[in-house]
Structure 1
Amino acid sequence: MELGGMCLKHVHSISIMVLLLHISCVASANVTRCVEREREALLAIKQDLLVVNSSRLSSWGTAAKDCCKWEGVLCDHLTGHVIQLHLGGWVLSSQGEFEDYIPFEGKLSSKLIELQQLEYIDLSSNYLRPSPIPGFIGSLFNLRYLDLFSSGFDGEIPYRELGNLTHLQYLDLSSSDFTNAIEFFSWLPHLSSLKYLDLSFVNLSNVFDWPDTLNRLPNLRNITLRGCQLPPPTVSSTLSDKNTSQFLAFVDLSYNNLTSSVFK
């Protein structure tokens, strides 16, 4: 009886495993991969990007129809929507280390707006055709991460459009030549979810109330404003080491025109 009970228990366990495996297979079969509209948008983006080494995007548009398997593309594993684009000039190894520098040239296609579920864009360290940041980026309402460090953009920042990115947590516009950075800086509080901000080497020489603006970002934890030609703040304008909800974790104000502490 004891042996029979053990056998029945073993058979029961196998049955459960088979059932779970069946459920897993059915779920996998129902997973949508690579939304066709988004696949076409990625191909349009590739067409407008030039790369010194043509093998950089060789996986895009090949026999692998599933764009979720293309280099630099990450999809939601359930819906198949593209949620991340890793198109920085520096290519990372599987261990997350810098492996090679293969920058893009050309321009950013307006077809990017087809990727409405996009949460993450890295276009850093590229040689994109000098032009303003495309305003259509402000239509990607799900963006959490936007890295345009030294990407080639210049001119006016479409700050009103970027102000729509209320979910944005990470913003890097450093090492760029913007003509209206002062207006953009005053617009920053519209990005209420911002946690990380890097505007290094962007000219902010006439922004005397910059601490007050930063204090209006309730979730900000990391501030990097190196070499921004920041002026000494007014007497009544000081940077709070505690925002509305949490303490600042990192502040870099080096290479500026500051003559005293900006903290109380």
Structure 2
Amino acid sequence: MDLFLRIRAVTLILLLGLLSIASINPKFSSGESDQVRCIESERQALLKFKQDLKDPLNRLVSWAGDGDCQWVGVVCHNVTGHVHELRLRSFPSVDDSASYDRSRLGGKINHSLLDLKHLIYLDLSYNDFGGSQTPKFLGSIENLRYLNLSNAGFGGLIPHELGNLSNLHYLNVGGYDYNLYVMNLQWLLVFHQYNTLK
């Protein structure tokens, strides 16, 4: 009998606790939740990144305001608000190549991406960065697991610094628009062995 009374007392205390939370925060009882807010420093990093991009069709128009993690192509962690993914791929059109050409992002990749410390997914494929070299600093985004730069208009030497991405599971740097080349593939072998052993 004593155990039964203890269980009832604990249950009553928990119920009163939940009721007090519901009275303090009415959204709790209605099931509503606040939008996850983007971390201010990461929001600023994204705005700097956007400044150096050419965006002919204004695809990134939602990248404004106070940053509620509802920006096109930006995926934030649903609890912490950290930016986890940038999905900025352009999609080739079989029917209308002119509109596809206008939809592609271009310009310069800003170093501010390095401020996205929790970024695990970066897709810039099928854009047009005008034959510029793949930025070496991408090899310093430590948590990247997915990097797709295919057909993004990068040219020249593929930087061996990409071999520093020890968490990477997917890498695509292929393309047909500009001449991409490597001096040697030693960094790729080290990258492959490290990720195979993990």
Instruction: Bin the TM-score by the shorter chain.
Output: 0.7 to 0.9
Deviation by residue 1:193-227 (Cα, 9 ceiling, x = unmatched): xxxxxxxxxxxxxxxxxxxxxxx5763xxxxxxxx
Read off the aligned partner of 1:142 and give its amino acid letter.
Answer: N
Aligned equivalent of 2:139: 138
Aligned equivalent of 1:89: 90
> Residue 147 of structure 2 contacts residue 170 of structure 2 at CA under 8 Å; is this kept in 1?
yes
> Residue 76 of structure 2 contacts residue 82 of structure 2 at CA under 8 Å; is this kept in 1?
yes
Question: Alpha carbons of 1:218 and 1:143: their partners in 2 closer, same or farther (altered >3 Å)?
Answer: closer
Aligned equivalent of 1:250: none
Aligned equivalent of 2:61: 58
Deviation by residue 1:122-150 (Cα, 9 ceiling, x = unmatched): 00001113211111111101000000011
Counterparts of 1:44 and 1:67, CA distance in 2:
17
> Residue 41 of structure 1 contacts residue 111 of structure 1 at CA under 8 Å; is this kept in 2?
yes
C-alpha RMSD of matched pairs (Å): 3.3
Shift of 1:25: 4.0
For structure 1, the residue ranges without an aligned partner over 5 or more in a row are: 1-7, 92-99, 193-215, 220-243, 246-264
Aligned equivalent of 1:38: 42
Aligned equivalent of 2:175: 175
Counterparts of 2:146 and 2:28, CA distance in 1:
33
Read off the aligned partner of 1:190 and give its amino acid letter.
Answer: V
Read off the aligned partner of 1:45 and give its amino acid letter.
Answer: F
Deviation by residue 1:52-73 (Cα, 9 ceiling, x = unmatched): 212x111001x3x125111100
Read off the aligned partner of 1:59 and give its amino acid letter.
Answer: S
Shift of 1:104: 0.5
Shift of 1:182: 4.7
Structure in which a larger fraction of residues adopt helix? 2
For structure 2, the residue ranges without an aligned partner over 5 or more in a row are: 1-7, 93-98
Q: Which of 1 and 2 has higher RCO (CA within 8 Å, sep 6+)?
A: 2
Shift of 1:114: 0.8
Question: Alpha carbons of 1:136 and 1:67: their partners in 2 closer, same or farther (altered >3 Å)?
Answer: farther
Question: Alpha carbons of 1:67 and 1:122: their partners in 2 closer, same or farther (altered >3 Å)?
Answer: farther
Number of equivalences: 172
- The reply on whether 1:119 has 2:123 as its aligned counterpart is no
> Residue 167 of structure 2 contacts residue 195 of structure 2 at CA under 8 Å; is this kept in 1?
no
Read off the aligned partner of 1:106 and give its amino acid letter.
Answer: G
> Residue 36 of structure 2 contacts residue 69 of structure 2 at CA under 8 Å; is this kept in 1?
no
